[in-house]
Amino acid sequence: MKFFSAAALVASFALISLAPAQMRPASGNVVTPDSSIERSTDIGMRAHTNIHVFLPTKPMKEVKPFGAPYSGYSYETPESLACVYGLVKTVTGCTPSAANTNPTGGSKMIAIVDAYDAPNAAKDLAAFSTQFGLPAANFQTVYASGKKPGYDAGWEFEESLDVQWSHAMAPGAQIVLVEAASSSFTDLMTAEDMASKMVNAAGGGEVTNSWGGSELSGETSNDSHFVKANVVFFASAGDGPGTIWPSTSPNVVAAGGTTVRRTPSTGVFLSEYPWDSAGGGVSAFEARPSYQSSISSLVGNFRGVPDLSFDSDPITGVWVHDTNAGG
């Protein structure tokens, strides 16, 4: 069983956060999967994931459920973040070792749109739920093209993060992973439309998108994919300076990234600050929506992002289980 600290956005939940100050492995590396690197040939054609993974170089001693899967590490658990964000009755410090109450909310559907196939999504979600004392998930995977997509390791890890933390923060919700045939925007929009139809038919809920790409002048023509009755759309603001689409669309809630700051020796929660590598800014093409009129002095005539944020720094990140990660 492999658990890792990851950064990316489960674009359904959030708050705000900078400078890491918490327990961490003595040595290790932050790995950026190839899927999270945008190349010039990708712009306007293919989306990239927004994920970084911290891989310790020293062996970690596995502990029994429940709680953090390895002793001596302060990476966030469902219980600790539920405590920090006030989703449960708080305990002093909200430390991963002391916080022991999981969220209990969630009643409708959360559809997660990602590219390519995550073959072990259900099995890894079950292991994650067992580790942290979460109820069994109401989970399914659907293929937007009608057949199983190919495999990409970086996108698979993104899917593991998105699925597991959607369930962690809203364990009562039905979780649907909608897999696009590829990372092309054409295929992702096909998956987006399927996801929103499913959520609408289920009585409402959210569609979350932890991917994006550099803005282009024609992006506004695709904003209509993020409009559906009884559906709230979320999109990641990215893991680098500047803005990316679809988070800049006025039809989505743009989710940014934070750093959770804890006392190194005890893991006690201190504060939360904007993550210095998180995306954000003012769109070059999307007009300011009416709901941002009150901040027109900050954003001018264009859409500002993000709207909210969540712990995303890989040094202060969350535990994710992925059977295939790390080799």
**Contact residues for 324 (Cβ-Cβ < 8 A; gap 6+):** 120, 153, 156
- Spatial contact of 317 and 7, defined as CB atoms under 8 Å apart: yes
Confidence of residue 281 (pLDDT cuts 50, 70, 90): very high
Closest CA to 274 of 3, 37, 8, 16: 16
User: What's the pLDDT tens digit per position in 71-125?
Assistant: 767 789 999 999 999 999 999 999 988 899 999 999 999 999 999 999 999 999 9
- Domain locations in the chain? 3-321
CA distances from 263 to 260, 268, 314 (A): 10, 5, 17
Rounded to whole angstroms, the Cα distance separating 316 from 259 reads: 6
Rounded to whole angstroms, the Cα distance separating 196 from 229 reads: 9
Angle (nearest 5°) at CA 320 between 27 and 317:
55
User: What's the pLDDT tens digit per position in 34-70?
Assistant: 999 999 999 999 999 999 988 777 666 666 666 778 7
| Per-residue pLDDT at 265 exceeds 60 | yes
CB 240: neighbour CB atoms within 10 A? 13
Handedness of CA 44, 189, 182, 231 (dihedral sign): positive
Closest CA to 35 of 4, 2, 8, 57: 8
pTM more than 0.85: yes
Please return the burial class of 90, using the count of CB atoms within 10 Å of its CB with bins 0-12, 13-18 and 19+.
middle
* pLDDT for res 26: 45
Rounded to whole angstroms, the Cα distance separating 258 from 278 reads: 7
Q: Looking at residue 212, what DSSP letter applies?
A: E
Superfamily the domain 3-321 falls into: Peptidase S8/S53 domain (3.40.50.200)
Closest CA to 8 of 325, 298, 220: 325
User: What's the pLDDT tens digit per position in 305-321?
Assistant: 999 999 998 888 899 99
* pLDDT for res 20: 32
Structural tokens at position 225: 């994919």
Beta-bridge partners for 76: 318
User: What's the pLDDT tens digit per position in 166-209?
Assistant: 999 999 999 999 999 999 999 999 999 999 999 999 999 999 99
Q: Which residue has the tokens 């970690």?
A: 60
